[in-house]
Amino acid sequence: MERLRLGMVGGGQGAFIGGVHRIAARIDGQWELVAGALSSDEERAAASAAELGIAADRSYADFAEMAKAEAAREDGIDAVAIVTPNHMHAAPAVAFLRAGIHVICDKPLAATPEQAAEIARVVRETGRQFILTHNYTAYPLIRQAQAMVAAGDLGEIRVVQVEYAQDWLTEPASNKQGDWRTDPARSGAGGCVGDIGTHAFNLVSFVTGLKTTSLAADLDAFVPDRQVDDNVHVMLRFDGGAKGMLWASQVAVGNENALRLRVHGTKGGLEWAQENPNQMTFTRFGEPKQILTRGGAGANEAGLRTTRIPPGHPEGYLEGFATLYSEAAHLIRHADSGTPLPVGVHAPTIKDGLDGMRFISACIASSKADAAWTALD
């Protein structure tokens, strides 16, 4: 099958997540990167493009020009990956969607609710695919967990614990990644809550299927002079009575990227941690705890569908991310060519993006109101 053509906005030299998207796009052989506006600095854009084997005439210094030019080409890109800082998601997203090009966008959706709403409006109007890279939902065992909850293996959910702890911002930011993530002009009003809190929130929503009705949040900026939060405590209330706690931190010394989810229901409980994503524990009440492995004994269809290699051969972060790119390929081929969708395809969409923005806003509002319960809507 011919590869889909991918463009990229952002992700030039010195960036982090752009490189991740590129590897992810390559892993399953569904995509070819052929165009880019990799930097707003024209020279850096060109140098980055050359390094990546993008033809010189498809390296653009300007995303608007790129959208226009690619839309006009016979062999124009099928989708664009937007990997810029948060405040630079909306403008290119709108430009490409309006140009008829599908969008794969990094999270969170935008820096402001207004930007988010605009993207959503244009997605609705254009009917183009919009995939938000909440990549953690694509880990095979997370897919398996979601299916287990949906199948009732845990009974009725009562309690959810989610946490996402890092320590890289324990001291004032000193590199490009830290700079923009702690600058509200670029990251939006949320710091840690937007950068990783949204991942945690999205993971809970995906796995449990529960709708969060309200939350009470206590946000802090522990590092002196930091303008955005770096530690986030949230209590959650879900539709139907389940309760949750969410902790996100970028100042929790001793943690690298410790996203961890625990779900407890009337009949069972499960636990998964991102740093060793190839195993998950599951306990049926009154029985011994089981260690479920990616693709191993006890794997279900949802987990197997997103698994590439045998159990015991660890897949990691890049493979999970790659699964999103393959899901995107399915969705886009289906949209553009009517190729049938495989059973179980899933990718986070504009809805997840809007939910994430509501989560950020509600956390900030609640925290300003001394952690008052704040509805998510």
Return the residues of window 42-61 that contact a copy of itself according to CB under 8 A. 51-53
**Restricting to residues 80-139, which ones interact with a copy of itself according to CB under 8 A?**
none
CA atoms within 13 A of residue 182's CA, in its CB half-sphere: 25
Question: Looking at 37-45, 194-202, 293-301, 353-361, which segment touches a copy of itself (CB under 8 A)?
Answer: 293-301
Window contacting a copy of itself (CB under 8 A); options: 72-80, 113-121, 295-303, 349-357: 295-303
Are the beta carbons of 317 and 304 closer than 8 angstroms? no
Taking the complex as a whole, how short is the minimal distance between the CB of residue 303 and a copy of itself, in angstroms? 12
Q: Which helix (H) or strand (E) holds 163?
A: strand 157-165
Residue 202 DSSP label: H
Encoded tokens for 57 = 């005439």
Give CA–CA dist 359/214, Å, rounded: 9
Residue 342 in contact with a copy of itself, rule: CB under 8 A: no
Q: Does 288 bind a copy of itself (CB under 8 A)?
A: yes
Question: Which residues from 160-199 bind a copy of itself, rule CB under 8 A?
Answer: 161, 163, 166-168, 170-171
> Considering only CA atoms, which of 272, 207, 219, 206 is closest in space to residue 249?
219
Strand-pair partners of 9: 37, 82
Which CB sits closer to a copy of itself, 61 or 245?
Answer: 245
- By CB under 8 A, is residue 340 in contact with a copy of itself? no
Evaluate whether 348 touches 201 at the Cβ level (below 8 Å).
no
Distances (CA, A) of 265 to 33, 149, 244: 44, 9, 12
Q: Which amino acid is it at 345?
A: V
In this chain, which of 43, 74, 225, 287 binds a copy of itself, going by CB under 8 A? 287
Q: What are the Cα distances from residue 181, in Å, to 12, 80, 111, 146, 189?
A: 17, 23, 11, 30, 10
Shortest Cβ 319–a copy of itself spacing (Å): 6
Give the range of 87-95, 96-104, 151-159, 188-196 binding a copy of itself by CB under 8 A. Answer: 151-159
Q: How many residues bind a copy of itself (CB under 8 A)?
A: 92
CB of 279 to a copy of itself, least distance (A): 8
| 262 contacts a copy of itself (rule: CB under 8 A) | yes
108 prior amide bond cis, ω within 30 = yes
Which one of 108-116, 185-193, 304-312, 348-356 is the stretch in contact with a copy of itself (CB under 8 A)?
Answer: 304-312
Please, which residue, 96 or 238, has the CB nearer to a copy of itself? Answer: 238
